[in-house]
Chain A
Amino acid sequence: MSKKLKVVALLAGTLIVNGAALAEESFGGWLINFDRTKEVKPVTDKRYLKECGECHFAYQPGLLPARSWEKLLNADALKNHFGDNAEFDKDTLQAIHDYAVENAADKSFYKRSRKIALATAEGEAPLRITEVRYIKRKHKDIPEKIVKGNKDVKSLSNCNKCHTQADKGVFDNDTVSIPNYPDWDN
């Protein structure tokens, strides 16, 4: 192997390795990263997983823009979190808030998060995942009877009931299996 080729191979290898590490840090990191980033970044923070996942599906921060998380994750708002008290101690709240805001849709390089951010109008801060314009559009053709009328689903907010890989941040059509409606897309 020629010296020039070896240098190029080494450079490419370094770029790939660094790219994986930098994937979410910068545009350059995303550009040279070969890992798939077409969905939503999965939750990696254990505290976020534990605290949020105790009561409901731990929604990936990339499903909402940062301004939505700012509105949702503050002490006052959590006193009435969709009808429930979900208060945290100060440290936990700060950690969860920071993780959500840092990984929000408008700060992510993951494709579906970018689409969510672009489809959300400027200044708009949806508080529910089901109010996100992109998500509403993706589900608009699904009849109510197979979501609300389905005893095993009940609401679009129960993402993981149909999106079998929702915990991995994967929401594509191939991974959808609607309980009681195995042939939903035929």
Chain B
Amino acid sequence: MKCNIGFRNMVASACLAALSGLAYADDALQDIAIPSLVSTYTNGSKAYMLALNDADVAQKQATATPVTQATEFKPPMFSGSNAHKYMGLTTVALAGLTMLTAPGEGCEQNCPPPSQQPKRQTNGTHAKLAKAAAFMAAATLTTGVLNHWDDFHLEDGWTDPDNMHVMLGTAGALLMMYAVNKSAKSSVPTSHAAMAELGAAAMVVAIKLTW
């Protein structure tokens, strides 16, 4: 196998780090308290009770609950809810970048024949960003459905912020996907910016409503 020394060193370091981590984890597991007067280790021990020569004290100590220190709760850094939030924000950011990198206006009326039109760029920065935005919009919808399905209650009316968030977010994502699809399928420049921008705006409003 052809492998340079630097890479081999890196792999060796990673293996050592992983092994030392395992050893440390093992140490932590083995960290069992040494038996003491108050530990449950002595619970029910006749010899201990006799040595103590005080049934009442022994009873109290034997039934004492071991003290476990409560650890402070920290909200998870990665959760479904957070994923939905960051995907939504990324969608809007990508939509903004797509808008900024637009090559120019499309043509729908009084257009020159296709042979005279400039060749379409279907894999340029604008197209790539647009596809990424549409993909991210779909991912945002999916994570929203998975993590917030129980926040949508029509009985609270259309003005409920979560209901509006769902409607505007879905409409926005669908408009963006439609715009990308429309442009990608066309062999000549086609107007799709307004639809995509409307979709992005709907998503911004959806985010603001539940921000």
Q: A residues near B, CB below 8 A?
A: 31, 34, 36-38, 111, 114-115, 118-119, 134, 137, 164-165, 172-175, 177
19 contacts between A and B (CB under 8 A): A36-B211, A37-B211, A111-B161, A111-B209, A114-B160, A114-B161, A115-B161, A115-B162, A118-B156, A118-B159, A118-B160, A119-B153, A119-B160, A164-B73, A164-B75, A173-B81, A174-B81, A174-B82, A177-B73
A151 CB to nearest chain B CB (Å): 12
B142 on the A face (CB < 8 A): no
- Report the interface size for chain B: residues with CB under 8 A from the other chain: 17
> With A and B bound together, what is the CA distance between A36 and B81 in angstroms?
15
Contact count A vs B, C-beta below 8 Å:
40
- B153 A137 Cβ-Cβ under 8 A: yes
B175 CB to nearest chain A CB (Å): 22
Residue in contact with B79 in the complex, picked from A114, A165, A174, A177, CB distance below 8 Å: A174
- A38 B210 Cβ-Cβ under 8 A: yes
Contacts of A177 in B (CB 8 A): 73
Contact with A along B76-89 (1 / 0, CB 8 A): 10010110000000
Contacts of B156 in A (CB 8 A): 115, 118-119, 134
Contacts of B153 in A (CB 8 A): 119, 137
Contacts of B73 in A (CB 8 A): 164, 175, 177
Residue of B at shortest CB range from A140? B150
B79 CB to nearest chain A CB (Å): 5
Residue of A at shortest CB range from B162? A115
- Please report which residues of chain B, range 134-191, place their CB below 8 angstroms from some CB of chain A when the two chains form the complex: 153, 156-157, 159-162
- B211 A118 Cβ-Cβ under 8 A: no
B160 CB to nearest chain A CB (Å): 5
> With A and B bound together, what is the CA distance between A140 and B77 in angstroms?
26
Q: A164-B73, A174-B81, A177-B73 are in contact. Are A118 and B157 (CB under 8 A)?
A: yes
